[in-house]
A and B are shown apart, each in its own frame.
Chain A
């Protein structure tokens, strides 16, 4: 049986592939007709081949559960997602602009605090934030950049317009899967890479990351010593830590491999101690250094913070960068862009209500069943309320939580995420997606062409997190034609 686009019906949602049943959007036409040329059985065979490739390539992620941690194969839907180059170029500018402004903001917060003196936002919001690190006050990292690697989540609304859902400035993950998804797609659909589409390559990312990290080195040496600091093999993103270290030719280290002496960081090698210049850390702030943060941390390195403060080692991202990825601060980002750069934001936020402000809070409490409520400092989609899908008890529980701690919550209307086709058991079916591009900032800036598309594999669901049953897709930025 052939793929039948006439029976593919995304309903009221914006579908990125078709404009109405049977009619593909212009950039997607070649993909749609190529898929139509295949039997559903052919597609399922390709799906099996992709799953096998993922298994043998060892592309995995770890799921935490009561029964122990399980190494699972990475879930990927084989049908690629398309975005045109012209649309992407504009989006990419917006992402770069956003990160530049956020870095100005973080640097200001830990230094002059002009933004607070000018009352752009209430000072309490900063000082009460769980991500504000008072130990960082007065520190001036190279280029005044704190968040060197950012993963910004984007969604498309009913009109197909990109909006920023959140910025991840602490230890964003997913970029290795973006790269591996492309590798798998090349194996599965080599025909499509032929003449059908001119697809922007993503493989440069590790080289760009290495250049950026090298640009942070305090020692001016030709080949600075760069390490990726991982919490270890039981971390859910261990695959990615290892992958990036391998692709950059950097050492993958655990806390126990590092030691601080004379305010400098060294790694333990078979030939003795060797100085480290740049640490791409994939450990949360609070576990970095038991002397300064969480005293019980066994993942970190004693004395690391001080070595960084003295400028003897670079940390990416810098401790404290998370102060700007709080979901309440998020609501101020358009103003932050205007304030620091005197530019209009290129990418819009999703409209948001801050529960800390009374009028907005009352609106949220009155309309809880229509809104999505998010806590300020959670990630991975945990601790969220999706109003329209919640039970009465859940709604009441969230109303209580918001009243008890309004600063910790913000709410957004439920945006109807765009859909793209996935390969189901019997046919292609529409599913909701988001997109996480990765932005680098050091001596210069870089944005990945596309990013990691996450897809809610369950019909109607908005939950795209891989830890909760989400899948992923290869994302193609294709030249317009």
Chain B
């Protein structure tokens, strides 16, 4: 039976790896978005800081939330939230659970960390950025593939899936945040978008989908041109797409059923799942989406609390 301490570490290893990948994806989509917008358009780089919830800390380190500072903060600096930091955390958790993970997994994580650490500073510049971020995402995918292809479906693997799913469920809500925030200038106070802005809104949502490798799947399954409410529904409520929030919550329910003493956690996941699946996206897009996403994020945080209470700190 899996040790509680080890369960906690593999769970965090998966969360950090997923977070590193998602942060890289967000930086990548944001950078791509810039190129599709008319020259001179000012984009709210500070939105990225808000999404990751680090406004205060960022303000202490930098005066302005412009491209270079935000890239440094989220990519290369030892800020505690950068891609390099996430990979360092992944590596540390992997280093301390090597006895139960496939050897090759640690070696890949180790290599990825060194690669990212060595190249992150260059990645702050646009010239090198795309290749670096794509490389990080691809390496993360390789690690997930290796784990899926070589680990027995035992308790350790269950905690890896739990960690990855909870992180994805949460991150996808944050990525929807990116799309629905006041990214673009000239949005009027009611949040409605004037006709002249619509093409750019579509560009934005297309890039949001791309950041989640969701563009093709959206095309095949939604069969609608890119529209905000369809994209939001897809990313939050789709049961088939592996990065959609609902899909990940469902996955968690399935994984949980295999673990001992799972009832409290399962109940909490069910609560979030209901919130996500039953949300009226059309209405929320007109008003209240951000608040709803915040509430979902808080409930997901409670899922983590229940996981920790149930398995990580028993008898203490």
Contacts and interface: CB of A to CB of B under 8 A. Distances in A.
Interface in B247-263: 259-261
Contacts of A256: 5
Nearest to B7: A270
B94 to A, nearest CB: 9
Contact of A242 (B7, B99, B114): B99
Contacts of B98: 58, 242-243, 246
**Interface class of chain A by DSSP:** mixed
A246 B99 contact: yes
B260 A272 contact: yes
B314 interface: yes
Contacts of B260: 270-272
A220 interface: no
Contacts of A233: 95-96
A48 B200 CA distance: 51
A250 B6 CA distance: 13
B4 A245 contact: no
Interface in A252-297: 252-254, 256-257, 259, 267-274
B99 A245 contact: yes
B224 to A, nearest CB: 44
Interface in B295-316: 311, 314-315
Contacts of B103: 246
A65 interface: no
Contacts of B311: 270
Interface in B5-31: 5-7
Contacts of B111: 56
A317 to B, nearest CB: 20
B232 to A, nearest CB: 36
Nearest to A274: B1
A429 B155 CA distance: 52
A55 interface: yes
B2 interface: yes
B1 A270 contact: yes
Contact of B3 (A56, A246, A251): A251
Contacts of A269: 1-4
A437 B65 CA distance: 59
A233 B106 CA distance: 16
B107 interface: yes
A257 B5 contact: yes
A341 interface: no
Contacts of B99: 228, 242-243, 245-246, 250-252
Contacts, number: 71
B107 A271 contact: no
A56 B155 CA distance: 27
A233 to B, nearest CB: 5
A52 B250 CA distance: 42
Contact of B107 (A56, A246, A270, A273): A56
Interface string B244-283: 0000000000000001110000000000000000000000
Given A57-B107, A233-B95, A246 B1 contact: no
B187 interface: no
B110 interface: yes
A251 to B, nearest CB: 6
A272 B3 CA distance: 9
Interface in A327-386: none
Contacts of B7: 270
A56 B91 CA distance: 12
B96 A242 contact: yes
Contacts of B95: 58, 233, 242
B100 interface: yes
Listed residue (A56, A253, A257, A271) with the most chain B CB atoms within 10 angstroms of its CB: A271
Nearest to B1: A269
B264 to A, nearest CB: 14
Interface in B85-125: 95-96, 98-100, 103, 106-107, 110-111, 114
Interface of A: 55-58, 228, 233, 242-243, 245-246, 250-254, 256-257, 259, 267-274
20 contacts: A55-B110, A56-B107, A56-B114, A58-B110, A228-B99, A242-B98, A242-B99, A243-B98, A245-B99, A246-B100, A251-B3, A252-B6, A259-B315, A268-B4, A270-B2, A270-B311, A271-B260, A271-B261, A273-B315, A274-B1
